[in-house]
């Protein structure tokens, strides 16, 4: 999970828990308030009943029942019991609700003066009352239907608000975090697109300011500028050193070639070996110089190249050095009918070098010194196959195939520097073209996609 997703998730969870806690506190406080309010109503009812019965001489049992009957709707499922000091029932209201009580409850009332407890759906209030040295016990039970309905309404209202708040807060949090992290997403995308061909490009974010992401972008640009300066100096040194080495090597090569024509038979083999080593060294320097030029080549120009012409040119040049070279070139009918697909946006000389290296590689490592080139049109995209028969590469060798100076086990006894495929890869990468190696028993294929 990304930091953006984690932050959105944690903030949403925090808001959800906090609002849930607030809802629980509100419900708890209102529930306690309801109980306290109902207890006060029961207390008032109990005091009114006992005072009417004891202090008002004109009120007897029957009259008090009439009074209760006329006020019975004030409390839902109300039941009132009044006992004297001998715990004998003096008064019972008319309704059929029963109060679960024992003498221990009356003893507890005498000691504590009052109590309030829950009994099923009802709540019971007990009161100890003393009047003119006479003790009385009042038990009154009722159901706070009105208060409970208000509490239930509050619970359902808060539950609906909680669900709505969760949905809104999660959507809003993810949106805000995504919006705030958008410059970082752009920053990551631009960093991912950086390669050795565009290290000089500066990163520009869509949002300006002095926030941390912009500061990071500025520091990254400074770092890339310093790296690019070092890279440019290294590339310039490679180009200059390669160029300077070519002149003395050319002189040595010319002298050795001249010596071969006038040397005696016993020295001929030694001088020829020296001449071959010098030629190999010249090839190495030319390859390094070419890599340097590829790095500095502008891939954004409007140069175009015909693939078939570049391949024919490569075959012609290689044929002068490799007389036994056999190349079979095939084109799909769809390519022949649509010749415009053969035109690439690339430098003709570089593409000719790339094709030449692939042809030379297939020739040198083929068991029959021949190769097959197939040009196809797949979904309006140009694909070129370079196929040959011979020993295939191992998985480890395939993973390092396009690295400089890499040579496989099948290269023993074959001349080469391990730079040919590296040059091909760099040329194709310059124009965002793809190269892929495939193999099966005794078969090798390089697949180019344009």
Across 410-427, average pLDDT? 70
Residues 105 and 241 in one domain: no
- What pLDDT does 30 receive? 93
Report the 10 Å Cβ neighbour count for 268.
12
Across 345-372, average pLDDT? 83
Please state, for a pLDDT cut of 70, what percent of the chain lies above it.
73
Residue 412 has pLDDT above 70, yes or no: no
Residues 422 and 401 in one domain: yes
Q: What is the CATH number of the domain that holds 415?
A: 3.30.565.10
Tokens of 160: 């609906």
- Across 362-387, b (16+ Cβ under 10 Å) vs e yields bbbbbeeebbbbbbbbeeeebbbbbb
Q: What is the CATH number of the domain that holds 60?
A: 3.30.450.20
* Domain endpoint, select from 245, 273, 296: 296
When mean pLDDT is compared across 28-42, 220-234, 407-421, the lowest value belongs to: 407-421
Tokens of 50: 């006992």
Residues 33 and 143 in one domain: yes
Across 407-430, average pLDDT? 71
User: Mean pLDDT score of the chain, rounded to an integer?
Assistant: 78
Please state, for a pLDDT cut of 90, what percent of the chain lies above it.
7
Residues 62 and 116 in one domain: yes
φ, ψ (nearest 5 deg) of residue 403: -85, 155
* Number of structural domains found in the chain: 3
Across 26-32, average pLDDT? 92
- 138: β partners: 82, 127
Q: What is the CATH number of the domain that holds 249?
A: 1.10.287.130
Cα angle 351, 354, 360; round to 5? 135
- The model's pTM is 0.49
* Any domain includes 207: no
Across 293-314, average pLDDT? 72
Across 420-430, average pLDDT? 81
Q: Concatenate the DSSP letters of all residues of 181-245 into one string.
A: HHHHHHHHHHHHT--TTSTTPPP--SS-SSSHHHHHHHHHHHHHHHHHHHHHHHHHHHHHHHHHH
Looking up tokens 């993973």, which residue turns up?
399
Across 275-291, average pLDDT? 66
* Any domain includes 398: yes
Residues 108 and 128 in one domain: yes
- What pLDDT does 33 receive? 92
Residues 269 and 369 in one domain: no
Q: How confident is the model at residue 243 (pLDDT cuts 50, 70, 90)?
A: low
* Any domain includes 380: yes
When mean pLDDT is compared across 4-13, 173-182, 208-217, 398-407, the lowest value belongs to: 208-217
- What pLDDT does 222 receive? 77
- What pLDDT does 73 receive? 43
SS3 of residue 39 by DSSP: helix
Residue 140 has pLDDT above 60, yes or no: yes
CB 186 within 8 A of CB 205: yes
Rounded distance, CA 249 to CA 58, Å?
Answer: 139
* Any domain includes 191: no
Residues 146 and 11 in one domain: yes
Rounded distance, CA 221 to CA 199, Å?
Answer: 10
Residues 434 and 339 in one domain: yes
Rounded distance, CA 165 to CA 17, Å?
Answer: 11
* Any domain includes 44: yes
- What pLDDT does 176 receive? 85
**Which pLDDT tens digit goes with each residue over 170-221?**
888 888 888 777 777 777 777 776 665 555 566 665 556 666 677 777 777 7
* Domain endpoint, select from 255, 278, 296: 296
Q: What contacts 440, CB < 8 A, 6 or more positions away?
A: 392
Residues 312 and 281 in one domain: no
- What pLDDT does 238 receive? 67
Q: Which residue has the higher pLDDT, 99 or 320?
A: 99
Q: Which residue has the higher pLDDT, 159 or 361?
A: 159
- Across 154-177, b (16+ Cβ under 10 Å) vs e yields beeebeeebeebeeebbeebbeeb
Residue 306 has pLDDT above 80, yes or no: yes
* Domain endpoint, select from 273, 296, 319: 296
Residues 68 and 128 in one domain: yes
Q: How confident is the model at residue 29 (pLDDT cuts 50, 70, 90)?
A: very high
Residues 280 and 344 in one domain: no
Residue 224 has pLDDT above 90, yes or no: no
Element (H, E) at 83: strand 76-83
* Any domain includes 117: yes
**Which pLDDT tens digit goes with each residue over 30-84?**
999 989 998 888 888 888 888 777 765 544 555 555 555 545 446 777 888 888 8
* Any domain includes 171: no
Residue 96 has pLDDT above 90, yes or no: no
Residues 283 and 370 in one domain: no
Q: How confident is the model at residue 315 (pLDDT cuts 50, 70, 90)?
A: confident
- What pLDDT does 268 receive? 66
CA distances from 326 to 312, 322, 323 (A): 13, 9, 9
Find the domain containing 401 and state its range.
305-449
Question: Where do the H-state alpha helices sit in 297-346?
Answer: 307-321, 333-337
* Any domain includes 203: no
């Amino acid at each position: 999970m990304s930091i953006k997703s984690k932050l959105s998730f944690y903030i949403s969870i925090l808001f959800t828990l906090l609002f849930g806690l607030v809802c629980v506190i509100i419900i708890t406080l209102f529930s306690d308030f309801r109980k306290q309010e109902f207890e006060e109503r029961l207390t008032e009812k109990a005091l009114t009943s006992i005072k009417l019965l004891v202090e008002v001489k004109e009120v007897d049992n029957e009259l008090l029942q009439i009074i209760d009957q006329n006020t019975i709707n004030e409390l839902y499922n109300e039941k009132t019991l009044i006992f004297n000091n001998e715990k004998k029932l003096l008064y019972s209201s008319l309704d059929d609700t029963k109060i679960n009580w024992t003498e221990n409850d009356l003893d507890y009332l005498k000691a504590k003066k009052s109590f309030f407890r829950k009994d099923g759906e009802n709540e019971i209030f007990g009161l100890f009352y003393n009047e003119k040295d006479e003790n009385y016990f009042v038990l009154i039970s009722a159901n706070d239907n009105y208060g409970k309905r208000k509490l239930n309404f509050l619970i359902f209202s808060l539950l609906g608000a909680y669900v709505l708040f969760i949905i809104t807060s999660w959507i809003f949090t993810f949106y805000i975090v995504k919006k705030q992290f958008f410059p970082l997403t752009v920053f990551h995308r631009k960093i991912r697109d950086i390669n050795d061909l565009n290290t000089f490009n500066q990163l520009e974010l869509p949002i300006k300011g002095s926030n941390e992401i912009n500061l990071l972008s500025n520091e990254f640009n400074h770092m890339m500028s310093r790296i690019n300066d070092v890279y440019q100096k290294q590339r310039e040194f490679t180009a200059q050193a390669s160029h300077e080495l070519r002149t003395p090597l050319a002189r040595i090569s010319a002298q050795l070639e001249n010596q071969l024509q006038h040397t005696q038979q016993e020295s001929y083999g030694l001088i020829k070996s020296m001449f071959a080593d010098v030629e190999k060294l010249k090839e190495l320097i030319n390859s390094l110089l070419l890599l340097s030029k590829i790095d500095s080549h502008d891939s954004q120009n409007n140069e175009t190249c015909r693939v078939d012409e570049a391949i024919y040119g490569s075959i012609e040049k290689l044929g002068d050095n490799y007389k036994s070279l056999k190349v079979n070139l095939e084109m799909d009918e769809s390519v022949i009918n649509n010749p415009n697909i053969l035109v690439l946006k690339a430098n003709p000389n570089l593409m000719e070098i790339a094709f030449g290296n692939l042809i030379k590689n297939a020739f040198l490592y083929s068991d029959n010194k021949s190769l097959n080139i197939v040009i196809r049109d797949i979904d309006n995209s140009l694909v070129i196959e370079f196929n040959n028969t011979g020993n295939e590469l191992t998985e480890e060798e395939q993973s390092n195939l396009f690295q400089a100076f890499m040579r496989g086990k099948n290269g023993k006894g074959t001349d080469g520097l391990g730079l040919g495929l590296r040059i091909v890869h760099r040329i194709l990468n310059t124009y965002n073209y793809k190269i892929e190696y495939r193999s099966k028993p005794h078969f090798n294929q390089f697949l180019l996609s344009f």
